[in-house]
Structure 1
């Protein structure tokens, strides 16, 4: 059985990285007493597939993953067991059964929506955004490779101030080999990592 789970990664898990989040979900499923399926071979691994890696320091409102179970289980039972086993910082949003033959989440993911909060008053935010969007090339380096960030920015605009913090909303490409990161966009806008908070609002699939 293949189940698709939507969950939130809250403030208490903000500094939990992708690998540790994966391990946290494995422990949660085992603690819930659910028959988690494992891969075959010399080093079996739990069949847990996160749609996208949520970077360290980010929170997420609608993260999605697929989990395979060894047997058929009622969706309500999966929901109840997981809810009773979740650690602080994770919140279950939805569970649904998925056709096992459906393509992987990563192959269907095309974009992501983010909201970024920026500490401190900023009087020229809209000007900075306009200047960035008017550029045709924004060359960056990631893991030793140079790439153009500009085509990965689909939408970018400011939002009304909230709790005395400036806010930016952005939609970035999240395709394999063509993924934009919100912290790289804010860096190009002139903001250091220390003054931003990134919330991954939703994933967009084809």
Structure 2
């Protein structure tokens, strides 16, 4: 059997403030343009409309930043992760940064199917005391259920937010704001959103910034 000539690289990247308002679709187009300009040997899907084999673990909502985003790129011929990053970095727009590149097995399941949780760092303006903020967090974690409504494509659906919250904690104070940490479910069946957690905490109307810090695959601790 001939050795496999294709290659799958896993890219960890940051999506910063300058591009936090572009959509997931526009982000994918940005990556495609950058990869083509870098003359990276992309592998393509088959069919009438071949597409580059690029996949991102989970879409990042518009307005969020991320510093632990994960993307897989399949190449038609092998190259070193170092050379891949060296050629690609000059083609990226401000706000898009490669943090690491590693080779993974071609046979691994898709990123989307392996995604389990996402962690967030949320900075929310509030004059509440530590005791008051701790009480809000405790109310969320001790609740048996948190009935909510979510509107999508003009339809309103009811759901329970509580099973989507794996953990919620206070990281500390930042000026006049509190910094919260969240680990929320993010898989093919359901996804928790940090802005909806803030609304359930009664903090939905205060200024905040939300950054996804890590995508977690498989079971926690693996």
Deviation digits for residues 129-187 of structure 1 (CA, Å, limit 9, x no counterpart) = 11222211112223233211101111111121013211111111112112111111001
Deviation >6 Å, runs of 4+: none
Output the TM-score relative to the length of structure 2. 0.88
| Correspondence for 2:143 among 135, 138, 141 | 135
Rounded to whole Å, the distance in 2 between the matches of 1:179 and 1:152 is 7
**1:46 Cα offset (Å):** 1.6
Tell me the C-alpha RMSD between the 2 structures: 1.3
- Number of residues paired by the alignment? 206
- 1:33 paired residue among 21, 39, 64: 39
| Map 1:3-14 → 2, pairs under 5 A | 3-14=9-20
Tell me by how many angstroms 1:122 deviates.
2.3
- Structure 1 position 156 matched with structure 2 position 164: no
Question: Which whole-Å CA distance do the structure 1 matches of 2:195 and 2:136 have between them?
Answer: 15
Aligned to 1:71: 77
Partner of 1:91: 97
The 8 Å contact of residues 124 and 206 in structure 2, kept in 1 or not, is answered as no
Of 187-196 and 175-184, more deviation after overlay is shown by 187-196
Equivalent of residue 184 in structure 2, options 156, 172, 179: 172
Range 50-59 or range 133-142, more displaced:
133-142
Q: Take 2:81 and 2:142, find their aligned partners in 1: how far apart are those partners?
A: 48
Q: CA deviation at 1:190?
A: 1.2
Counterpart CA distance in 1 for 2:201 and 2:142 is 12
Tell me, in whole angstroms, the C-alpha distance in 1 between the residues paired with 2:37 and 2:20: 22
User: Which of the two has higher C-alpha Rg?
Assistant: 2
Shift of 1:2: 1.0
Question: Is there any run of 5+ residues in structure 2 with no aligned partner, and where?
Answer: 1-6
Q: Taking structure 1 as the reference length, what is the TM-score of the superposition?
A: 0.95
Q: State the Cα distance separating 1:193 from its structure 2 match.
A: 5.6
For the 8 Å contact 2:8–2:105, the answer to whether it is kept is: yes
